[in-house]
A and B are shown apart, each in its own frame.
Chain A
């Protein structure tokens, strides 16, 4: 699988390493060179220093041939915008944004943008661990209280 990851924070870096050791083709886009240190050594990823909202950078990263695009910067709005560029403009089939605000995530889910909300996921998994339950499919964790 050919994956582009925009944002080399803890999430992006960890994902990049996991996919790379799984044999997938990973390209990481990151604005700040010092964050790339998180990738460690022998990460096997292609690295681009630039803005993942910039068309030139995305094209250079190979977005036209990408199977997946992950937006994992620190900013919800940046991630939501990048995810939409990948989906709407470039037709990437698997797109996921990291969105910390659960309400915003829900609104954008309705607009067709898939996202994962880390705090909800963490809370849900901790709950299931505490109650001795099996873990659930991802959509169950993404839900805001009272969401259908």
Chain B
């Protein structure tokens, strides 16, 4: 998720640094991201200093571990005075706790899905999750119904509008990083980063017709 987020933000002209803890993953990302990726544990003060937390406008913690995301965000705000800290939560029950502990930006894919069900929005609706960069990029979720033309197809074969990327798929109780070869299934919840003007085109690709 961090990789796709980085690429999209870079494309929009932002100064972005991805901090990755795992050496093997870093070695795979470095050829593609160059100086926009750094090897290190984002929970360590030395790494935070090298990464430039002091002058960051925003820190987003999107690892698969809630406690790591919490610590990175708390340190960003309290130690480095970063104005906006966004944490991903994998366990939706933690959302309230994170807010209690001072993290106001919290993103939970599972929670959104639950809300969709609760509010009885018809499956297949595209729901904007967040607007980044003053509304020009949206984080969007869509649940693929049986009628969706995307079901049974690989991500790379979809005719997504320009600039749109499926970054994450929630399948049952698991989350997967979307690769080109990922084959989509019925009831998959897909998380997409897309320029705002393409929302209608996304609807066509994922819901009906073509």
Contact = CB atoms under 8 A, between A and B. Distances in A.
B75 A107 contact: yes
B71 A104 contact: yes
Interface string A54-83: 010000000000000000000111101100
Q: Size class of A's contact patch? A: 10 to 19
B78 interface: yes
A103 B46 contact: yes
B97 A77 contact: no
B93 interface: yes
Interface stretch (B62-70, B118-126, B185-193): B62-70
B116 interface: no
B79 interface: yes
A127 B44 CA distance: 26
Contacts of B22: none
A111 interface: yes
Contact of A81 (B44, B70, B75): B70
Contacts of A85: 97
B70 A107 contact: no
B67 A103 contact: no
A104 B71 CA distance: 9
B61 to A, nearest CB: 11
Interface string B90-104: 000100010011000
A77 B71 contact: yes
Most central of B44, B65, B79 by chain A CB within 10 Å? B79
A78 B74 CA distance: 13
B59 to A, nearest CB: 14
B42 to A, nearest CB: 11
Given A84-B101, A111-B74, A53 B44 contact: no
Contact of A88 (B43, B44, B100): B100
B100 A89 contact: yes
A133 interface: no
B6 interface: no
Given A77-B43, A104-B44, A104-B45, A88 B71 contact: no
A101 interface: yes
A41 interface: no
Nearest to A51: B91
B68 A77 contact: yes
A130 to B, nearest CB: 28
Contacts of A101: 43-44
Nearest to A73: B67
A80 B44 CA distance: 14
B26 to A, nearest CB: 20
Given A76-B43, A101-B44, 9 more contacts: A76-B71, A77-B67, A78-B67, A81-B67, A81-B70, A88-B100, A107-B45, A107-B79, A111-B78
18 contacts: A75-B67, A77-B65, A77-B67, A77-B70, A77-B71, A80-B67, A80-B71, A81-B67, A88-B101, A89-B97, A89-B100, A101-B44, A103-B45, A103-B46, A104-B43, A104-B44, A104-B71, A107-B75
Q: Which 5 A-B pairs have the closest CB atoms?
A: A103-B45, A77-B67, A81-B67, A77-B71, A107-B79
